[in-house]
Chain A
Amino acid sequence: MTIHLPRRGRYAPVAVAGIAAIIVTVVASARAGGPPGRSFPSLTPAAAPAGWMHADLPNGTAVLSYPPSLRSLAGDKDAVSAAQRGPGGTFQLFLNATPRQGTETAAHWAAFRLRLLRADDAATAHQDTAAQGVKFRGGTGSCVIDDYITRIGAHHFQEIACLVQGRTSASVVVAAAPAAQWARARPLLLRAVGAYVVR
């Protein structure tokens, strides 16, 4: 049987195919989260410089590297932290790695982190930028850069926090500094985050 399509009808399948391609592209892009946004800083997965210290997560799933100007800090027994303190014990630089504990996922990491900050220890928190599909040593992560004001002391911190998925497990790496010093601290903190290893 032969179907004779009117002139307009002949082009309909082509139009439908084109529209379908657009739909697939839009949906795939939304689901993948796309490449890091333009405003998200470059994060290079690279070994820590010589002389940096290394701290393994107690469960052995990740390694946090930090410069010798920071000191290991006591905290949760399943996590590792390092910090550089200033006069009066104020935090100048802060690094932390913690195994994934809650319901955080790569797709909703930024919203999760902000919700947790507001629910836990921040009076205010807002997102500056975020990215998914960030390459790490041994895995891929979702990252958010945000700033918040603590309920205690009203300290204004800025941070990059990433949920990083390795081959066998996921963990969170956080690098923070006082917001007023963020611009100066950022290169070092990004280097520490880029040196983070997941397994």
Chain B
Amino acid sequence: MSFTLGRWAAGAALLTALAAGCGTTAAAHSSGPKPATTTHPAAHAHTANPIPQHNGGDQDADNNGGPSDGDGNI
């Protein structure tokens, strides 16, 4: 019986370590400050821009070098 409980405790400790690791990761993504400033050149844009720039598409300020609005880019 003591052997079984010992294994239980060891397993729970392992789970704790894993959960702590996951928790730290989630917090870093959701609310923590970004640890390092990384710049990406324009050539590294991740996806094609569906809204044309230079006053194209919806003619928002953000298609002309102005601040970005809150649209979902759809």
Contact = CB atoms under 8 A, between A and B. Distances in A.
A binds B: yes
Interface of A: 3, 5-6, 8-9, 12-13, 15-16, 19-20, 22-23, 26-27, 29-31, 33-34, 36-37, 39-40, 73-76, 79, 81, 83, 91, 94, 96-98, 100-104, 107-108, 110-111, 115-124, 126-132, 142, 148, 150-153, 155, 157, 159, 161, 171-174, 176-177
Contacts of A13: 5
Nearest to B63: A121
Chain A's interface: helix, strand, loop or mixed, by majority?
Answer: mixed
A52 to B, nearest CB: 19
Contact of B34 (A101, A115, A127): A127
Nearest to A131: B31
Contacts, number: 197
Interface of B: 1-2, 5-6, 8-9, 12-13, 15-16, 19-20, 22-24, 26-27, 29-34, 37-42, 45-49, 51, 53-54, 58-74
A151 B56 CA distance: 14
Contact of A23 (B19, B39, B46, B69): B19
A138 B63 CA distance: 31
Contacts of B49: 119-121
Given A102-B72, A150-B62, 19 more contacts: A6-B1, A8-B2, A8-B6, A12-B5, A16-B8, A16-B9, A26-B23, A34-B30, A34-B31, A76-B69, A79-B69, A111-B29, A128-B33, A151-B42, A151-B53, A151-B65, A157-B67, A161-B70, A172-B72
A31 B26 contact: yes
Most buried by B among A5, A118, A121, A155: A121
